[in-house]
Structure 1
């Protein structure tokens, strides 16, 4: 009877193993435990004792495999130490510190989402202890195509178990540990799955990682790791978790990027990168990735640091919170036009007129005549000063240098004399769209420090501090604009430009972006500085009915954004020379279309109230 029971149990165990754990069955057969049991039972040798021993062996073996099955990941872990990685920290920049703070050891790990403790411990054991250890984490350690949703998965907790297990194991190492998570996120290439994604998506994923890491490893230091490419500021996650910032010289991502011209001089390259981090108030680690020698790069950092400290008074300023826009204010925005053909200036629909003024117009009196005509119509004036084309140099290649060297002082004195004659408000904009990496204007593609000095020189030129003159800083609102930020004390309004057709390759008007899409992108880029917005240029190309619809939606957006204090429509075709062999876009609109825009804006602002 007992033998039958044991045989039944053995059969049931075999079926259970075959169905649920076939690999266990094969191992058992290979180890001949079942064969041993059957042989023993067949010969009736010391049945009771043998059965108990055999059943115990089977049960133990089964239990071991079940535990392994339940605790082991179903997918093989791809965690790895990146043996090709070599990015030493060549120095640290802090505004008020002269020396490198620490000597860092730097390693890179590729991590997937599977929390295999054995794999994690083995991986960490490969990294030598160090007094200051930086670990750059690539999560996941795969290429862009295989994991395009990594930021979403991190935010939603798919990597939580792995992050916790990794940080718990890491906490056992000696020394100070610094974690640098998914770096070079801002470079406009797609070498890695977290790269060139929506800034908000990256920021939320980064902060989720940091919060979880700190919860299990409170002593860990966090390094936010942009390359230092133009537009890094858009991915700034805030100061809550960040202890250090790193920038990388000649990283693989940046070498593949073509959006901005490469900066070949090492000192200029280092200086531009550390100055792009000036708004964040954190020490900056400078890492070497390219072919420049460590010795040369260290020398470049010394020079870059000295130059940055020399200009610290204009580069590093306390944010003027008193000047921040009142976002609850419900005033109707000022409506202006650039209208050289005078198609709308006498329509009764506008509050302001926009004029572009070069230095020849100042010298020959044309500026004064144009300005007085605006004042005679009792309109406010938007005056964009273009510091070039003086009588001596038709296209001044050193316009900004000439500004700060006093070459144009006579013209500037005349500008401020003319402005002082008006009782109307003047919105004074100087050297606009400086951040675009082209050469349409002489002040574009220049050193940001040179631009900042020139902007401040011009805006502070008038010692009378005429309160009717409002100072307007006028980037296009493109990537990297904040690198040219000149300081709170010389800016009353931020101006951006919004054109539905910014790309000459787009020939179908229906493919133009909406006003709202462009505005949201450009307004986000201004998030680090608290000033109201004046959209001094905007326009749309296409048939009149398309322009009417586009402007109607624009008016609804403007009417519901209290930070927008003014708008000025560009009622003319663009400069033909800029567009090469294709016709320039014609932004001009009819009076009925503009009337519809004004009416819609008025209704939208009333609705906002």
Structure 2
């Protein structure tokens, strides 16, 4: 065999190796081939910043306070409130702490049930007025510096996870309006936050009850690969949800943003997201979910995702975004 032929066949064999790896191992091979680098490699920012919108705001859910001493200035800090069991004074102290840092607070109220009877019927019948009045105590005096999100992800259709997540869209809307009416003396901002499934607009309570639309966005590679056969980009995954809600013409908050996977995959996916933010004109804020998820939230087929964020990466990307020309 001529040397030139040997060279050709050797080249083909070398090219075939990564192809076989991808065919056998899917995204894991791609991750290893394309994004293999030290875990703490220098942060690489987008090269072309001319299209970025520095008015986009950023927030965080940080239950373990790992970012409290960070130099990053947040526009929002998010809290979750179990409305059957909470101390109004303690929640007010947390909100005041946030406001002292010139940061606004987002209070996600989870309407857990304390009875064995239908939740929405009980709310409308006044059986949770005590809980609603306690929330009123929390809200007093904050006005437009506080945002409230009641009964998020109501379109889950997974009643084993949330008591308020069901196919009863009419009951949800009636309960939402009832709660809103009892809290309206406090002029806080209201966020309506579905998962963003195809039927999410069935739960729309009405234009006068909503100031912002909230959406969650997560990337779990194993789930995407099993469910879609590929890893979806931020632009694709968020774009599907955004298309469903943009007709309401309300500002859109990403109320939960998380990525779970290798450090390299997280860095790639988050950078791609930052590059895509400005393609969604209604998007006004991104809130990072800096915590592990609830145990078993993604079922038994997947390990519980840890959405904790790479502080160096996110801080650099936010700073770059805010100071873009």
Taking structure 1 as the reference length, the TM-score comes to 0.41
Q: Do structure 1's residue 346 and structure 2's residue 61 form an aligned pair?
A: no
Instruction: Pick the aligned partner of 1:488 from 183, 201, 207.
Output: 207
Q: Any idea what the Cα deviations from partners look like across 1:527-546, whole Å, max 9, x if unmatched?
A: 43221111101111112232
The question of 1:371 aligning with 2:84 is answered no
The change in CA–CA distance for 1:477 and 1:459 in structure 2 (over 3 A counts) is same
Of structures 1 and 2, the one with the larger relative CO (CA 8 A, separation 6+) is: 2
Contact 2:143–2:186, Cα closer than 8 Å, also in 1: no
Q: How far apart in 1 are the matches of 2:288 and 2:202?
A: 27
The change in CA–CA distance for 1:417 and 1:348 in structure 2 (over 3 A counts) is: farther
Deviation at 1:397, TM superposition (A): 5.8
Q: Comparing 418-427 with 449-458, which one deviates more in the overlay?
A: 418-427
Distance 1:371 1:418 in 2: 9
- In structure 2, distance between residues paired with 1:598 and 1:417: 34
Match of 2:276 in 1: 557
Instruction: Specify whether residues 364 and 561 from structure 1 end up closer, same or farther in structure 2 by C-alpha distance, changes over 3 A only.
Output: closer
Distance 2:149 2:55 in 1: 21
Taking the aligned partners of 1:573 and 1:357, their CA distance within structure 2 comes to: 17
Give me the whole-angstrom Cα distance separating, in 1, the residues matched to 2:224 and 2:282.
32
- Residue in 2 aligned with 1:444? 165
Give the structure 2 partner of residue 543 of structure 1.
262
Rounded to whole Å, the distance in 2 between the matches of 1:434 and 1:463 is: 21
CA distance in 1, matches of 2:294, 2:123: 25
State whether residues 534 and 566 of structure 1, in contact with CA within 8 Å, keep that contact through their aligned partners in structure 2.
Answer: yes
For 1:364 and 1:494, locate their aligned partners in 2 and report how far apart those are by CA, in whole Å. 26
Unaligned runs of 5+ in 2: 1-52
Mapped to 2, the partners of 1:485 and 1:500 lie a distance apart of 26
1:337 aligns with 60
Distance 2:157 2:191 in 1: 21
Q: 1:424 to 1:480 in 2, by over 3 A?
A: closer
- Secondary structure in structure 1 of the residue aligned to 2:195: coil
Q: 2:109 is matched with which residue?
A: 385
SS in 2 for 1:579: coil
Per the alignment, in what secondary structure is the counterpart of residue 411 of structure 1? helix
For the residues of structure 2 that align with 1:345 and 1:465, how far apart are their CA atoms? 28
Match of 2:152 among 424, 432, 451: 432
CA 1:397–1:343: 2 relative to 1, 3 Å? farther
Given candidates 414, 418, 421, the residue that maps to 2:138 is 418
Task: Give the equivalent residue in structure 2 for 1:455.
Answer: 176
Confirm or deny: 8 A CA contact 1:556 1:600 kept in the other structure: no
- 2:192 paired residue among 473, 496, 502: 473
Choose from 358, 361, 364 the match for 2:82.
358
Structure 1 gap segments, 5+ residues each: 1-329
Task: For residue 560 of structure 1, report the CA deviation from its aligned partner.
Answer: 4.3
Compute the displacement of 1:362 (Å). Answer: 2.9
Does the CA-based 8 Å contact 1:345-1:353 persist in structure 2?
A: no
Q: 2:127 aligns with which of 385, 407, 415?
A: 407
**Which of residues 288, 298, 312 is equivalent to 1:579?**
298
Match of 1:534 in 2: 253
TM-score w.r.t. the length of structure 2 is 0.75
In structure 2, how many angstroms separate the alpha carbons of the residues matched to 1:369 and 1:502?
38
Q: Do 2:252 and 2:282's aligned partners in 1 also have CA atoms closer than 8 Å?
A: yes
Question: How far 1:372 moved relative to its partner?
Answer: 3.3
Describe the SS at the equivalent of 1:336: strand
Query: How far off is 1:465 after superposition?
Result: 4.7
Shift in Å, 1:549? 2.0
Aligned length: 269
Alpha-carbon deviation of 1:368? 3.2
- Structure-2 change in CA distance of 1:364 and 1:566 (3 Å): closer
Q: Secondary structure at 1:528's aligned position in 2?
A: helix
- Which stretch of the first structure deviates more once superposed, 369-378 or 559-568? 369-378
Q: SS where residue 60 of structure 2 aligns?
A: strand
After TM superposition, the structure 1 stretch with the greater mean CA deviation from structure 2, 487-496 or 416-425, is: 416-425
CA contact (8 A) 1:552 1:596 kept: no
Q: CA–CA distance in 2 between the matches of 1:416 and 1:364?
A: 9
In structure 1, how many angstroms separate the alpha carbons of the residues matched to 2:211 and 2:133? 21
Q: Give 3-state SS (helix, strand or coil) of 2:138's partner.
A: helix
Instruction: Note the C-alpha offset of 1:526.
Output: 1.4
Cα distance between partner residues in 1 of 2:234 and 2:189: 25
How far off is 1:502 after superposition?
8.2
Tell whether the 8 Å contact from 2:194 to 2:214 is kept in structure 1 after alignment: yes
Question: Could you tell me how far 1:441 is from its partner in structure 2?
Answer: 0.4
Compare CA radii of gyration and give the structure with the larger one: 1
Counterpart Cα distance in 1 of 2:308 and 2:64: 10
